[in-house]
Amino acid sequence: MNFVKALQSKNIDTVCVYKDYCIGCGKFIKYQEDSITYFCFHDISTYIFWLDQGKTFASKKDNCFDYSTIEIDSTSLWKIFFTYENQIKEEKVKPFEYLVWKNKKKEIQGISINHSRHLHFEISVNKDIIATMNFDEFDLEKEHNGSVNINYSHNWNLKGKKIIDELERLVSCIEGEKLFTKNRQ
């Protein structure tokens, strides 16, 4: 992403890229500027958080707009990451799996669904990607149509899930307070 490379060229060494999206759930946006009507297909919002001289900043990008850069009053994202960095690097989200009995033996089967929400983060330090995780929200479900997810506790107890929770909290606050301003790309 060019925005992240631009940050890194300014010696910003700690960056988190967060995407919250649903495959196949895009929408067309119609907007007007200077009496011209534009149409854009919006499908993935990308939030970028970075640390600069002890302060946390954020911006947002999508297919339709660039957004302003804001300073946010939060160090918790970085505290969580650096506290659990080694664990997060090794963690893996497990898919929704359940047990069935076949011929008097336990068997593990998996389920996946289309169009579920995905929560993805990537954290870079000194231009190196240190951690990346993708949570398919369906893999965080406890049960589906009577099948119990045997990986439910594992996924919810991942330290990377703490990062996702904090990113969701930050984005919810920023979007709820409408702190970003739109700029046409």
Give the pLDDT confidence of 29-68 residue by residue, as tens digits.
666 667 766 667 666 789 999 999 999 999 999 877 889 9
In the prediction, which pLDDT does 184 show? 64
Stretches in the chain below the pLDDT threshold 70 = 1, 24-33, 36-39, 41-43, 184-185
In the prediction, which pLDDT does 29 show? 63
Which residues does 98 contact at the CB level (< 8 Å), separation at least 6?
108, 109, 110, 111, 147, 148, 149, 150
Q: Can you give the pTM of this predicted structure?
A: 0.86
In the prediction, which pLDDT does 113 show? 85
In the prediction, which pLDDT does 44 show? 78
| Number of domains the chain is built from | 1
In the prediction, which pLDDT does 135 show? 94
In the prediction, which pLDDT does 32 show? 64
Which residues does 138 contact at the CB level (< 8 Å), separation at least 6?
96, 111, 112, 113, 116, 144
What's the token pair of residue 66?
């660039």
Domain carrying residue 84: 2-184
